[in-house]
């Protein structure tokens, strides 16, 4: 690290090899941040951009602790953590194995928990009351249980609860915790999507599942550009004050959690099911 780095704000971005994480890392770089992009392998764009790749699997607690320690040792500070690493598992509850569910939770939920647990000792030593910002990338699916995405929704519901609890625990510090819940975004999530293996064979849900999957893929293709959600996330990282939860994406999806709160539950369920037909 050269002398010019010591004056720069420091961010760790997980899942930085593609999609939202890559776009956020590049946007922070453009604003002068010193960005450490954590992922299992770097993208070509990231290597060319000059930000620092951190080889990391968020399911490995030892690797998480070592990575955060190395960043803090090099820079002396961590101003922001953007936990974005995750993937989508689809399939009916009945068709999804324990191993598939646990793998989903390990990345989408426990990976975020591990990262927060590792950076907090660093952030608490910054300033008189601790200082930093932890941003978790959740999903509208963390407010609404999405048919044939139960494991994914469960991981994001858990993340929402953990974020709210953590914010309360840090109330007497200057460390902010923010949950960003995007709707459909045009990223590479479809390429990384995993399908419950039992759902690929003779599942009684096969016809409905295939229709729902077609809707999921259509909505993703028509979603916000990844640069738009990256701008929201970077704004949440750099703003002086931020709310606990920020929902972003197509307006219908941002409105859906409010509709769920206002409508009778069975009415809302019927509307949700109809949207997947």
Which residues participate in catalysis according to the annotation? 152
H/E element, 176: strand 174-182
Give ∠ CA 59-65-71 in degrees, rounded to 5: 120
Output the six-digit token pair for 271. Answer: 């509307």
Q: How far apart are CA 70 and CA 161, in angstroms?
A: 29
Cβ atoms of 96 and 63 within 8 Å: the answer is no
Residues 6+ apart with CB under 8 A from 239: none
Output the six-digit token pair for 125. Answer: 């030593």
Q: With both helix axes pointing from N to C terminus, report the angle between 111-124 and 150-169 in degrees, rounded to the nearest 10.
A: 20
Cβ atoms of 133 and 80 within 8 Å: the answer is yes
């Amino acid at each position: 690290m050269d002398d010019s780095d010591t004056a720069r704000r420091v961010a760790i971005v997980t899942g930085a090899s593609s999609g939202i994480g890559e776009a956020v890392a590049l946007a922070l770089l453009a604003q002068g941040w010193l960005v450490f992009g954590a992922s299992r392998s770097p993208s070509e764009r990231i290597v060319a951009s000059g930000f620092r790749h951190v080889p990391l699997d968020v399911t490995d607690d030892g690797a998480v602790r070592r990575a955060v320690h190395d960043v803090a040792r090099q820079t002396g500070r961590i101003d922001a953590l953007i936990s974005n690493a995750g993937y989508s598992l689809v399939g009916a509850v009945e068709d999804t194995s324990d191993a598939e569910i646990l793998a989903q939770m390990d990345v989408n939920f426990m990976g975020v928990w591990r990262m927060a647990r590792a950076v907090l000792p660093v952030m608490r030593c910054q300033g008189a009351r601790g200082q930093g910002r932890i941003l978790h990338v959740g999903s509208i699916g963390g407010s609404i249980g999405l048919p044939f995405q139960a494991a994914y929704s469960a991981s994001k519901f858990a993340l929402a609860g953990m974020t709210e609890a953590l914010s309360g625990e840090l109330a007497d510090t200057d460390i902010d915790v923010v949950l960003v819940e995007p709707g459909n975004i045009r990223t590479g999530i479809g390429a990384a999507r995993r399908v419950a293996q039992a759902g690929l064979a003779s599942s009684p849900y096969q016809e409905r599942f295939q229709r729902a999957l077609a809707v999921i893929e259509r909505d993703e293709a028509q979603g916000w550009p990844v640069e738009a959600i990256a701008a929201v996330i970077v704004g949440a990282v750099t703003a002086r004050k931020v709310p606990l939860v920020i929902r972003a994406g197509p307006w219908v999806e941002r409105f859906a959690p409010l509709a769920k709160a206002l409508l009778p539950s069975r009415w809302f369920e019927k509307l949700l099911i109809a949207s997947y037909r």
